[in-house]
Amino acid sequence: MVYTFDIFDTLITRTTADPTGIFVIMQRHLSEQDDYREIPLHLKKNFCDFRTNAEVEARIWARQAGREDVTLDRIYAAMAYMNHMSERAVARLMDLELAVELENCIPIRENIEKLKELRREHDVYLLSDMYLPTEYIRKMLMKADPVFGEIPILVSGDLDRMKGSGRLFAYFLEKYGVDTWEWVHIGDNPVADDVMSQRMGARSELCTGYIFSRFEKEMLQRHGKEYAVQAVLGTVRNTIQKRNTAEWRMGVSLAGPVLYGYVLWVLQEALRQGMGALFFVARDGYLLKKIADVIIAEQQLDLQTRYLYGSRYAWRAPAVSLNKDDFRDWLLYNVNFASFDEVTEDLHMAPEELSEYFPELFRRKGRKYSGRERERVKEILLSDESLWQKIGERNKTLRYRVKAYLRQEISSAEGRIAFVEMNGTGFTQYCMQRLVTDFYREPVITFFYSMASMTEVQAPGNIFYKYTGRKLDPIMETITRAPHGQTLGYRQDENGKWAPVLNGAGQGYMSEGYADYVDGILAFAQEMCRNWSCQGEELSALSLAYIDHISKDPEPEVQDFIGDLPFSQEGTNAGLDFYAPRLTDEQLRALYLYKTPMEDWYPGHNLMFSLLRLTAGEREAAEYYQSLNMPGTGRGRDYFREVKGRIILYGAGKRGRNMFRRLMKNKDARVVLWVDKNCAACVTAEMEISPPERILETAFDYVLIGVASEKLVQEIQQELIRMGVPMAKIFW
């Protein structure tokens, strides 16, 4: 048998996303190097456009002259005509293109091994539609493997015959006396290598390479002349096919492009500032450190990396319990308790220690708090001095342990240090700074991909460097999860060394597939280091474009990967759900038809992402439910349906009377007193209306405030507290 192979994108390929990437690299060389003075400045700055147009013009000239293909000489002759360049300038540009082609040529190892195996028993030839000289193509092939030293090569540019027309195939058959019945052609082009070779009598084998996603195609179409786009998409294209698992693909094509530029920027900025060590903070720092270690090894950087076990859970409560102002700021701006379990976990308190301060309604197992209830929880925690003191005492031992661990780790580093986080408010870093002031006098420097805008005024003693000024979607946290559980605290071993105590809970995708995910990210980082010379900041715009795409318009495979990842908003085990699970028809009805409060039925953390995952049929059903425009029950919770026991109702206006009638339908509740300041003017046949002072004489379980004005609700609440009514017993 006789086998012919295509060359480009079959046996060898480029590091770039497409052939235009070679011209993008050349433009960068011309712009950055001073020894191309003979090249016109406007040509240097716009080389990619000029080189592309010159090839178009050269092909037009070739057709007019009756030729089928062009050569590199003719392309640069067209460019010289367009730009009035000297012979020296033309020669230098041609040399540069050949050098860049050779430097950015990489093998397609699987197909080369196939060729070597076939060559043991069969004749092998190489056919290529290409403008580069034959001898230079052989040089590129020899860089890939010595096997190509003696294999015959036929190139369209030199022979003026192309595969696409069939004439190069015909020339091959005649030159080597090959019968078509014994001929097999292998290549990647569906027309030239598959259809046309079959027309000429061959059996064809089509090599299908990586097909860019819709998003990647759009990026190439809009920004394909940008260095960063060619670098990232070229690396994705050439790396993703090395392993065929969904986790590997997500690591290479999703997490790698998002995270690599940020880590590179951190390392470059740290070196610029003379840093000696970087502490990557758990758990978002787990993957970031791995990427950093790859870059440091590949580029031989003089920089140490450490992994620092910490968490909101382990650092915040011990730190803020030192100072009531810090505790207040934490509650008001930096925490959102989703359930009573999260309250007890984040405060490091046992449920029984907090029971007396919270209403039974708020302590129910499995109950998720609404937005209004979360604010109420914060009010409760700030209202009682004895509770504050109890929290501070409970965290005293934990504070000692975390300070000992931080002292041990930080004091062991040499030179200036900084910390690396991913996304957040910076409050956890502020808490850490409060814990290390006894032994670390320098400002705590932290690199962030992104932060909330008001962090600086909330975190004195800290210096923050941000990769982007945008506040990012929490979706970022889903792609940087670590395989180990949350840091719960610290313990000392028999040798006196402090180590983290972890809850041992993995993160769902931390299974056998997680290794592929990590490997994919690191393979992407390694290939970027080896093939591309970038500054971290020049990759930021593309990284953000990936994030926007992931969060707003992801492909189905990305939807499934992100949506099905376990996720906890506060990082504790409490409330651990999937990030954005698929919605059932029952849940769609709750959302659009009955308008049930979301916290009562949605188990995820990003409803909009769950809606992205709807099938066509589910989307049609959702639109139908929405079109019915049912009044539903509203987004709030009606406590008169949930409370149990003896109820005092405050307010006898329209809202108060409506609440009374609804309470009458609650078999577990009994109105023992109905009060209003204007009781003398309140006339109702349902029950006697008394003055508020009667509250002090009545045994009750809850007071429900039945007024519509939010301002008046707050005034009544303060009045009740002054009367001695516990905050935990007041609802509205």
Boundaries of every domain in the chain: 2-13+104-206, 17-103, 260-311+414-482, 322-394, 639-731
Q: Per DSSP, what are the bridge partners of residue 445?
A: 463
At residue 633, the pLDDT reads: 46
In the CATH hierarchy, which fold is given to the domain comprising 639-731? Rossmann fold (3.40.50)
Place of tokens 């997490």: 255
Cα 58 from Cα 69, distance rounded (Å): 9
At residue 113, the pLDDT reads: 96
Place of tokens 């450190």: 289
Cα 274 from Cα 269, distance rounded (Å): 9
Correct CATH for 2-13+104-206 of 3.30.950.10, 3.90.50.10, 1.10.3720.10, 3.40.50.1000 = 3.40.50.1000
At residue 512, the pLDDT reads: 66
DSSP states of 578-626: ESSPPPPHHHHIIIIIS---GGGT--SS-HHHHHHT--HHHHHHHHHHH
* Side-chain-facing half-sphere of 592: CA atoms under 13 Å: 20
Cα 540 from Cα 636, distance rounded (Å): 41
Rg of the chain, C-alpha, whole Å: 34
- Cβ atoms within 10 Å of 389's Cβ, excluding its own: 12
**Residue ranges for the chain with pLDDT beneath 50:** 455-457, 507-509, 570-575, 633-635
DSSP states of 340-367: HHHHHHHHT--HHHHGGGS-HHHH-TTP
Strands 702-705 and 645-650, sheet pairing:
parallel
Cα 616 from Cα 407, distance rounded (Å): 56
Q: Does the domain made of 260-311+414-482 have the CATH classification 3.40.50.2020?
A: yes
Nearest to 440 by CA among 400, 467, 412, 478: 412
Q: Is 231 exposed, middle or buried (0-12, 13-18, 19+ CB in 10 A)?
A: buried
Q: Is the pTM of this model over 0.85?
A: yes
At residue 123, the pLDDT reads: 96
Q: Do domains 2-13+104-206 and 639-731 have the same CATH topology?
A: yes
- Decide if 373 contacts 342 (C-beta within 8 A): no
Nearest to 463 by CA among 311, 308, 332, 269: 269
CB-based burial, 572-593: b 16+ in 10 Å, e otherwise: bbbbebbbbbbbeeebbbbbbb
Q: Per DSSP, what are the bridge partners of residue 183?
A: 2
At residue 5, the pLDDT reads: 97
Alpha helices in 251-370 (DSSP H): 256-272, 285-299, 312-320, 324-333, 340-347, 351-354, 360-363
3-state DSSP call for residue 702? strand
